[in-house]
Structure 1
Amino acid sequence: MKGAFKSLSVAMVKGFVRDKATLFFTFVFPLMFLVVFGLLFRDAGAEKLKLGAVGDGPVLAALEQSGAVELERFDSLDAGVQKVRDGDLPGLVEATGTKVDLRFAASDQAQAGLVRGIVAGVTQELNIRATGQPPRFEFTAAQVEDASLKPIQYLTPGILSWGIAVTAVFGAALTMVNWRRKQVLRRLRLAPVTPTTVLSSRLSVTIGVAIAQAIVFVGVALLPVFGLRLSGTWWMSIPVFLSGILAFFAIGMLIGAFTKTEEAATGAANIVVLPMAFLSGTFFPIDAAPPWLQTVSKVFPLRHMNDGMMDFLVRGKSAAALVVPCAVLIGFTLVVGFIASKVFTWEDS
């Protein structure tokens, strides 16, 4: 059986390497997303909030010193208000003597709330200082994560997980459909080769390709232009990584079991993987989605793989964080794998 396993694995690897389209969609296509998003959001968070300013005084000085605001000075109030009305600025601060007026654009509620909060906070702090009395409540703020974290830290785990999902699902589904259509599975069934050997050889190739993907992805993200920094517990992402491969391999086997042609398998795989990517936080933080959508996303294995990979590649969590993602992914593998085994056929009926 070792000879059969080796022969099947070598045949699958050769077929994979010779297929230029497969190589492109396995490595280049998902890597394009990493590069594009990594470059687009490389300096995210570095820009200051820009506000218009008319007049002078301690409030405007304090806003500039805060480091969060950049002021654009105007000689006349009307000119500044017009900029706000046109949508070029989120707000305008007019400081005359002891009076501070804020004019803001209500069309963007999130931006308006941010502007009001910053200006009101600075004004209130100066009012407290002016009384000469010590503040009754002490407030401190600190970032819980490393100050050096960049968007690439969050993009890499999600896009890597999605790339692995694509490889596992498409690889398993298309191989099974192609081999069934060309009656390769029928010949294997008649040969002294067990189903376990066929599946394990396909799975071993999938794992090998996924490892190559991970090395390429992380290697590119570590380049100075992106600046990825792995946490001290990055190696603990390996169980999540392997569990994710198994889960999506099972999905691919299920799709390959009930589809008859490569076109149908490709369409079914896209219907499963692509929406899952958008609903699992691959391209944008799922925490920003509505609560109901966050709840729905927990049904998908990609959400748990994304979270698990990020917990260890970025957040440096302990081994306790392995329980939920690995349990969900392994459970998903067992259920979907069982269903796939029941509907699988060696040849088209």
Structure 2
Amino acid sequence: MLLGFVRDRMTLFWAVLFPLMFLVLFGDLLTNDGAPKLEVAQVGDVAALDDMAPDAREALEQSIEITPATDEAKALREVRDGDLAAVITEEGDRLVVHYSQADQVTAARVRGTFQGIVDSANLAAAGGTPAFTLETQQVEDESLEPIQYVTPGLLGWAIAMSATFGAAVNLVSWRQSGLLRRLRLAPIRTSSVVLARVGVSVLVALGQTAIFLGLAVGAFGLVLSGSWPLVIPLVLAGTLAFLSIGLLAGSISKTEEGAVGLANFIVLPMAFLSGSFFSLEGAPDWLQAISRLLPLRHLNEAMLDVMVRGQGVEAIWAPMAILLGFAAVCSLIASRVFRWDA
């Protein structure tokens, strides 16, 4: 029995190597101390920052990059768009911190950091009344629930799972049952078969999106921005990208079990590395670099931009180009390794 287990490469991979891969991934995430600097804009004079002792200022700049700004409205837009972590202003004795709740890890770091700055400034007042108070203001509607920021990533993951698994498993199943061979001999063009499969995947993805958003709005208080319909072209482009990955996995795999395993190997790590389940803020640079190469990260971020941040068409052009380019490359490779017969 033990010898049979060792000889079964697929079982060995899923039982030992796949869990070890996640151990390495999470081990590096959880032990990484080099969180990236918070990019903050300072509008006007802020005494709590300007009057800091040189050594305290130097220590602060290890974790925050402070840039002077003159246009507060523009800086606040950059916070909404995710380009800045916060905007800092001073109103009398109040230090006002404007931040975005879209990335909850960054939001917590911003609030904690500036609470520490205010506490240090008040401690330096040496027994007098507190010199400053901290006021935090999120740039989005404060009535919004955490579901706003969770939904885009989970929807992206659901689309990736459905398109990849559906294409991979169906392709292998059709090959093993001889259906592909019969379709090849039938008086219909191959392009018609492919387009039919693409149409089914697109309809399933649109149905997923409707159910997902309907449940989130009706049961969990999701509030969609005015530009939320831009999710539809993103879903279409994302479906094509992951359908092509599924076709590639199905073209390579010889059995349904192998297709499922390969699809799992691709989609599950990608979901973690693309921020579908938690923010990658604070992840090491090498992991961030890998994440930016993955189509799911671009899909997730674009849906967050249009569903939560209220950005317009300009927010989806680049992600859609990346997704469609990914679909074209994977489809080309799949066409080269595709087999009609088992």
TM-score range normalised by the length of the shorter chain: 0.5 to 0.7
Counterpart for residue 260 of structure 1: 254
Q: RMSD value over aligned CA atoms?
A: 3.0
User: Partner residue of 1:341?
Assistant: 335
Please list the CA deviations of residues 291-337 of structure 1 after superposition, one character each: whole Å capped at 9, or x if unmatched. Answer: 32122101111111101111111111121111221111011011111
**Distance apart, 1:290 and its partner CA:** 2.5
Residue matched to 1:228: 222
1:280 aligns with 2:294: no
Match of 1:237 in 2: 231
Aligned to 2:161: 166
Q: Which has the larger radius of gyration?
A: 1
Query: How has the CA–CA distance of structure 1 residues 252 and 113 changed in structure 2, closer, same or farther, with 3 Å as cutoff?
Result: closer
* Equivalent AA in structure 1 for residue 203 of structure 2: G
- Structure 2 counterpart of 1:187: 182
1:301 and 2:295 are equivalent in the alignment: yes
Code of the aligned partner of 1:121: V
- The TM-score normalised by the length of structure 1 is 0.62
**Candidates 212, 219, 228, aligned match of 1:217:** 212
Q: Cα gap change, 1:298/1:147 in structure 2, threshold over 3 Å: closer, same or farther?
A: same
Change (3 A) 1:229 1:333: same
> Structure 1's 129 and 302: CA in aligned 2 closer, same or farther, altered over 3 A?
same
DSSP 3-state at the match of 2:209 = helix
CA, structure 1 residues 320+125, in 2 after alignment: closer, same or farther (shift >3 Å)?
same
Structure 1 residue runs without a partner (length 5+): 1-110
AA in 1 matched with 2:172: V
The CA distance in 2 between the partners of 1:291 and 1:279, in whole Å, is 12
In structure 2, distance between residues paired with 1:169 and 1:191: 26
- Measured in 1, the distance between the counterparts of 2:337 and 2:326 equals 17
Superposition deviation, residue 199 in structure 1: 0.9
C-alpha deviation, 1:213, in angstroms: 1.0
The count of corresponding residues between Structure 1 and Structure 2 is 235
Q: 1:127 deviation in Å? A: 7.0
Question: Is 1:150–2:171 an aligned residue pair?
Answer: no
Residue 250 of structure 1, CA deviation: 0.2
Corresponding residue for 1:118?
115
- Counterpart in the other structure of 1:205: 200
CA distance in 2, matches of 1:309, 1:155: 11
**Alpha-carbon distance between aligned partners in 2 of 1:112 and 1:190, rounded to the nearest angstrom:** 62
Unaligned runs of 5+ in 2: 1-107
**Bigger shift: residues 148-157 or 167-176:** 148-157
**1:332–1:124 CA distance, 2 compared to 1 (3 A):** same
CA distance in structure 2 between the aligned counterparts of 1:203 and 1:120, rounded to whole angstroms: 55
**2:115, 2:134 within 8 Å by CA — same for their partners in 1?**
no
- Asked whether the 8 Å contact 2:152–2:303 carries over to 1, the reply is yes
Looking at structure 2, the residues matched to 211 and 312 of structure 1 have their Cα atoms a distance apart, in angstroms, of 17
Counterpart-to-counterpart distance in 2, 1:112 and 1:177: 48
Superposed structure 1 runs of 4+ greater than 4 Å apart: 111-117, 125-132, 138-141
What SS does structure 2 have at the residue aligned with 1:286?
A: coil
Could you say which residue in structure 1 is the equivalent of 2:317?
Answer: 323
Q: Does the 8 A contact of 2:165 with 2:260 survive in 1?
A: yes
Tell me the CA shift for residue 117 of structure 1.
5.8
Give the drift of 1:140: 7.5
